[in-house]
Protein backbone atom coordinates (compact mmCIF):
# COMPACT_ATOMS: atom_id res chain seq x y z
CA UNK A 1 0.00 0.00 0.00
CA UNK A 2 1.41 3.37 -1.01
CA UNK A 3 2.10 6.02 1.61
CA UNK A 4 1.23 9.64 0.82
CA UNK A 5 2.83 12.81 2.19
CA UNK A 6 1.76 16.37 1.38
CA UNK A 7 4.47 19.04 1.57
CA UNK A 8 3.63 22.73 1.36
CA UNK A 9 6.23 25.21 0.20
CA UNK A 10 7.84 22.41 -1.79
CA UNK A 11 9.25 24.52 -4.62
CA UNK A 12 12.49 25.52 -2.85
CA UNK A 13 14.57 25.41 0.31
CA UNK A 14 13.67 23.19 3.23
CA UNK A 15 10.37 22.15 1.64
CA UNK A 16 12.07 20.87 -1.50
CA UNK A 17 14.63 18.96 0.57
CA UNK A 18 11.88 17.45 2.72
CA UNK A 19 10.14 16.24 -0.43
CA UNK A 20 13.40 14.56 -1.43
CA UNK A 21 13.67 12.93 2.01
CA UNK A 22 10.19 11.47 1.76
CA UNK A 23 10.64 10.29 -1.82
CA UNK A 24 14.00 8.68 -1.01
CA UNK A 25 12.20 6.63 1.63
CA UNK A 26 9.53 5.47 -0.82
CA UNK A 27 6.74 7.94 -0.07
CA UNK A 28 4.44 9.23 -2.79
CA UNK A 29 4.19 13.01 -2.48
CA UNK A 30 1.78 15.86 -3.09
CA UNK A 31 3.86 18.93 -3.85
CA UNK A 32 2.22 22.27 -3.02
CA UNK A 33 3.48 25.77 -3.82
CA UNK A 34 2.77 28.74 -6.08
CA UNK A 35 5.50 28.18 -8.70
CA UNK A 36 4.31 25.48 -11.09
CA UNK A 37 7.57 25.25 -13.04
CA UNK A 38 9.59 24.53 -9.91
CA UNK A 39 7.07 21.96 -8.70
CA UNK A 40 6.98 20.09 -12.00
CA UNK A 41 10.76 20.09 -12.20
CA UNK A 42 10.93 18.58 -8.71
CA UNK A 43 8.16 16.08 -9.46
CA UNK A 44 10.02 14.83 -12.54
CA UNK A 45 13.22 14.48 -10.51
CA UNK A 46 11.53 12.49 -7.76
CA UNK A 47 9.70 10.19 -10.17
CA UNK A 48 12.89 9.48 -12.12
CA UNK A 49 15.25 9.14 -9.18
CA UNK A 50 13.05 7.32 -6.67
CA UNK A 51 10.22 5.83 -8.78
CA UNK A 52 7.54 7.34 -6.55
CA UNK A 53 4.19 8.86 -7.44
CA UNK A 54 3.83 12.62 -7.40
CA UNK A 55 1.00 15.10 -7.63
CA UNK A 56 1.53 18.82 -8.25
CA UNK A 57 -0.88 21.27 -6.63
CA UNK A 58 -0.30 24.89 -7.62
CA UNK A 59 -1.77 26.78 -4.71
CA UNK A 60 -1.36 30.12 -2.92
CA UNK A 61 -2.09 29.23 0.69
CA UNK A 62 -2.13 32.89 1.71
CA UNK A 63 -5.57 32.93 0.05
CA UNK A 64 -8.06 32.22 2.89
CA UNK A 65 -10.09 29.77 0.81
CA UNK A 66 -7.07 27.81 -0.47
CA UNK A 67 -6.57 25.26 2.36
CA UNK A 68 -10.09 23.89 2.16
CA UNK A 69 -10.08 23.89 -1.64
CA UNK A 70 -6.81 21.96 -1.66
CA UNK A 71 -8.02 19.26 0.74
CA UNK A 72 -11.39 19.05 -1.02
CA UNK A 73 -9.62 18.31 -4.33
CA UNK A 74 -7.55 15.55 -2.77
CA UNK A 75 -10.51 13.98 -1.00
CA UNK A 76 -12.58 14.11 -4.19
CA UNK A 77 -9.87 12.01 -5.84
CA UNK A 78 -9.77 9.55 -2.95
CA UNK A 79 -6.36 10.61 -1.68
CA UNK A 80 -5.81 9.97 2.04
CA UNK A 81 -2.79 11.66 3.57
CA UNK A 82 -0.50 9.76 5.92
CA UNK A 83 1.72 12.79 6.52
CA UNK A 84 1.11 16.54 6.36
CA UNK A 85 4.16 18.80 6.23
CA UNK A 86 3.28 22.44 6.91
CA UNK A 87 6.42 24.10 5.62
CA UNK A 88 5.12 27.06 3.58
CA UNK A 89 5.80 30.44 5.12
CA UNK A 90 7.65 33.71 4.69
CA UNK A 91 8.98 36.60 6.75
CA UNK A 92 8.38 40.35 6.74
CA UNK A 93 11.08 42.41 8.42
CA UNK A 94 11.56 46.01 9.47
CA UNK A 95 9.98 48.24 12.09
CA UNK A 96 6.46 46.98 12.66
CA UNK A 97 4.98 50.48 12.31
CA UNK A 98 6.35 50.52 8.75
CA UNK A 99 5.32 46.98 7.73
CA UNK A 100 3.13 46.78 4.66
CA UNK A 101 -0.36 45.85 5.93
CA UNK A 102 -1.24 43.66 2.95
CA UNK A 103 2.00 41.69 3.08
CA UNK A 104 1.64 41.42 6.84
CA UNK A 105 -1.88 39.97 6.47
CA UNK A 106 -0.68 37.48 3.86
CA UNK A 107 2.13 36.36 6.16
CA UNK A 108 -0.20 35.82 9.11
CA UNK A 109 -2.61 33.92 6.88
CA UNK A 110 0.09 31.64 5.49
CA UNK A 111 2.27 31.09 8.56
CA UNK A 112 -0.56 30.50 11.03
CA UNK A 113 -4.06 30.26 9.60
CA UNK A 114 -3.32 28.01 6.61
CA UNK A 115 -1.16 25.73 8.77
CA UNK A 116 -3.89 25.47 11.38
CA UNK A 117 -6.70 24.82 8.90
CA UNK A 118 -4.77 22.21 6.91
CA UNK A 119 -3.99 20.41 10.15
CA UNK A 120 -7.62 20.54 11.24
CA UNK A 121 -8.85 19.27 7.87
CA UNK A 122 -6.55 16.23 7.67
CA UNK A 123 -6.53 15.17 11.32
CA UNK A 124 -9.96 13.49 11.49
CA UNK A 125 -9.00 10.98 8.79
CA UNK A 126 -5.68 10.27 10.46
CA UNK A 127 -7.28 9.73 13.85
CA UNK A 128 -9.93 7.47 12.32
CA UNK A 129 -7.21 5.36 10.65
CA UNK A 130 -5.15 5.53 13.86
CA UNK A 131 -2.02 6.54 12.01
CA UNK A 132 -0.54 9.76 10.73
CA UNK A 133 2.14 12.35 11.21
CA UNK A 134 2.12 16.14 11.16
CA UNK A 135 5.38 18.05 10.67
CA UNK A 136 5.10 21.79 11.29
CA UNK A 137 8.09 23.94 10.38
CA UNK A 138 8.61 26.77 12.86
CA UNK A 139 11.97 28.41 13.63
CA UNK A 140 14.30 29.25 16.48
CA UNK A 141 12.52 32.61 16.18
CA UNK A 142 9.73 30.87 18.12
CA UNK A 143 11.74 31.06 21.34
CA UNK A 144 12.04 34.84 21.78
CA UNK A 145 10.42 38.11 20.72
CA UNK A 146 12.15 39.61 17.68
CA UNK A 147 12.22 43.39 17.34
CA UNK A 148 12.45 44.33 13.62
CA UNK A 149 10.91 40.92 12.88
CA UNK A 150 8.10 41.13 15.41
CA UNK A 151 5.14 39.59 13.61
CA UNK A 152 7.18 36.81 11.99
CA UNK A 153 8.66 35.69 15.31
CA UNK A 154 5.18 35.77 16.82
CA UNK A 155 3.84 33.52 14.05
CA UNK A 156 6.54 30.98 14.75
CA UNK A 157 5.87 31.12 18.50
CA UNK A 158 2.27 30.29 17.60
CA UNK A 159 3.35 27.32 15.48
CA UNK A 160 5.48 25.92 18.30
CA UNK A 161 2.78 26.37 20.95
CA UNK A 162 0.05 24.98 18.70
CA UNK A 163 2.15 21.96 17.73
CA UNK A 164 3.05 21.03 21.29
CA UNK A 165 -0.55 21.42 22.45
CA UNK A 166 -2.15 19.22 19.80
CA UNK A 167 0.68 16.69 20.13
CA UNK A 168 -0.42 16.26 23.75
CA UNK A 169 -4.09 16.05 22.75
CA UNK A 170 -3.33 13.34 20.21
CA UNK A 171 -1.33 11.13 22.56
CA UNK A 172 -2.50 7.53 22.19
CA UNK A 173 -4.31 8.10 18.88
CA UNK A 174 -1.53 6.82 16.63
CA UNK A 175 -1.04 10.34 15.26
CA UNK A 176 2.06 12.36 16.13
CA UNK A 177 2.93 16.04 15.74
CA UNK A 178 6.49 17.28 15.33
CA UNK A 179 7.65 20.90 15.30
CA UNK A 180 10.88 21.56 13.41
CA UNK A 181 12.78 24.65 14.60
CA UNK A 182 15.76 25.48 12.37
CA UNK A 183 17.93 28.55 12.76
CA UNK A 184 19.28 30.65 9.89
CA UNK A 185 19.42 28.40 6.83
CA UNK A 186 20.78 28.82 3.31
CA UNK A 187 17.51 29.27 1.40
CA UNK A 188 15.57 32.02 -0.39
CA UNK A 189 14.08 33.09 2.95
CA UNK A 190 16.50 35.94 3.78
CA UNK A 191 16.11 37.59 0.39
CA UNK A 192 12.32 37.31 0.41
CA UNK A 193 12.16 38.73 3.95
CA UNK A 194 14.67 41.53 3.18
CA UNK A 195 16.92 40.15 5.91
CA UNK A 196 20.14 39.62 3.94
CA UNK A 197 21.85 42.55 5.68
CA UNK A 198 20.78 41.60 9.20
CA UNK A 199 23.27 40.17 11.67
CA UNK A 200 21.41 36.86 11.58
CA UNK A 201 22.18 36.28 7.91
CA UNK A 202 25.42 38.20 7.31
CA UNK A 203 28.13 35.71 6.45
CA UNK A 204 30.16 34.61 9.43
CA UNK A 205 28.10 36.18 12.22
CA UNK A 206 25.98 33.11 12.90
CA UNK A 207 26.36 29.53 11.63
CA UNK A 208 24.19 28.97 8.56
CA UNK A 209 22.43 25.63 8.32
CA UNK A 210 22.13 23.71 5.08
CA UNK A 211 18.60 23.06 3.88
CA UNK A 212 19.28 19.39 3.16
CA UNK A 213 20.65 18.80 6.68
CA UNK A 214 17.74 20.62 8.33
CA UNK A 215 15.28 18.60 6.25
CA UNK A 216 16.95 15.31 7.08
CA UNK A 217 16.85 16.02 10.82
CA UNK A 218 13.23 17.13 10.57
CA UNK A 219 12.24 14.05 8.58
CA UNK A 220 13.92 11.70 11.04
CA UNK A 221 12.31 13.44 14.02
CA UNK A 222 8.90 13.24 12.33
CA UNK A 223 9.28 9.53 11.68
CA UNK A 224 10.25 8.98 15.31
CA UNK A 225 7.30 11.01 16.58
CA UNK A 226 9.42 13.57 18.42
CA UNK A 227 7.50 16.67 19.48
CA UNK A 228 10.18 19.35 19.01
CA UNK A 229 13.46 19.26 17.09
CA UNK A 230 15.90 22.19 17.11
CA UNK A 231 18.60 21.77 14.48
CA UNK A 232 22.20 22.71 15.21
CA UNK A 233 24.06 22.85 18.53
CA UNK A 234 24.29 26.64 18.47
CA UNK A 235 20.56 26.93 17.93
CA UNK A 236 19.86 24.53 20.79
CA UNK A 237 22.05 26.66 23.06
CA UNK A 238 20.29 29.82 21.94
CA UNK A 239 16.85 28.36 22.63
CA UNK A 240 17.99 27.31 26.10
CA UNK A 241 19.45 30.76 26.79
CA UNK A 242 16.13 32.33 25.83
CA UNK A 243 14.52 30.35 28.66
CA UNK A 244 17.21 31.16 31.23
CA UNK A 245 17.98 34.86 30.79
CA UNK A 246 15.56 37.69 31.66
CA UNK A 247 13.04 38.37 28.92
CA UNK A 248 14.13 41.98 28.48
CA UNK A 249 17.74 40.93 27.81
CA UNK A 250 16.67 38.19 25.42
CA UNK A 251 14.52 40.68 23.50
CA UNK A 252 17.31 43.25 23.32
CA UNK A 253 19.83 40.73 21.98
CA UNK A 254 17.32 39.43 19.45
CA UNK A 255 16.65 42.98 18.30
CA UNK A 256 20.34 43.57 17.60
CA UNK A 257 20.52 40.36 15.60
CA UNK A 258 17.42 41.17 13.56
CA UNK A 259 18.26 44.81 12.80
CA UNK A 260 19.72 45.70 9.40
Mean pLDDT of 205-218: 85
Distance of CA 152 to the CA centre of its chain: 13
Q: Comparing 206 with 240, which gets the higher pLDDT? A: 240
Give Dmax (Cα) for the chain: 53
- Give domain limits for the chain: 4-258
Per-residue pLDDT, 92: 87
The whole-chain average pLDDT of the chain stands at: 89
- Summarised one tens digit per residue, pLDDT across range 4-47 is 999 999 999 999 999 999 999 999 999 999 999 999 999 999 99
Which of 226, 20, 16 has its CA nearest to residue 133?
226
Question: Does domain 4-258 sit in CATH 3.90.1150.10?
Answer: no
Could you say which of 50, 152, 158, 219 is catalytic? 152
- List b or e across 145-181, with b for residues whose CB sees 16 or more CB atoms inside 10 angstroms: bbbbbbbbbbbbbbbbebbeebbeebeeeebbbbbbb
For residues 149 and 10, the model is more confident at 10
Alpha-carbon distance values, 99 to 1, 8, 96, 155 (Å): 48, 25, 5, 15
H-run or E-run covering 58: strand 54-58
pLDDT in tens, 47-62: 999 999 999 999 999 9
pLDDT surpassing 70 at residue 225 = yes
Half-sphere exposure of 81 (CA within 13 A, CB side): 30
Residue pair 190/176 in contact (Cβ under 8 Å)? The answer is: no
Grouping H, G, I as helix, E, B as strand and the rest as coil, residue 177 is strand
- Parallel, antiparallel or unpaired: strands 132-137 and 83-86: parallel
pLDDT of residue 203: 47
Alpha-carbon distance of 123 to 61, in angstroms, equals 18
- Catalytic annotation present for 152: yes
Q: What is the pLDDT of residues 68-121, one digit of tens each?
A: 999 999 999 999 999 999 999 998 888 999 999 999 999 999 999 999 999 999
232 pLDDT tier (thresholds 50, 70, 90): confident
Amino acid sequence: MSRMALITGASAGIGRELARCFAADGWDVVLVARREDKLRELAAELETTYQVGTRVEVCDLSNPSAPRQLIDRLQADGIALDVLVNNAGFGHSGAFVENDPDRLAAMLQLNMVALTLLTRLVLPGMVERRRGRILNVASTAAFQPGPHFAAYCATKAYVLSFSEAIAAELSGTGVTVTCLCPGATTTEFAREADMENSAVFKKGLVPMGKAEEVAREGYQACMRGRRVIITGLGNKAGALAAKVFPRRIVTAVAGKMMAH
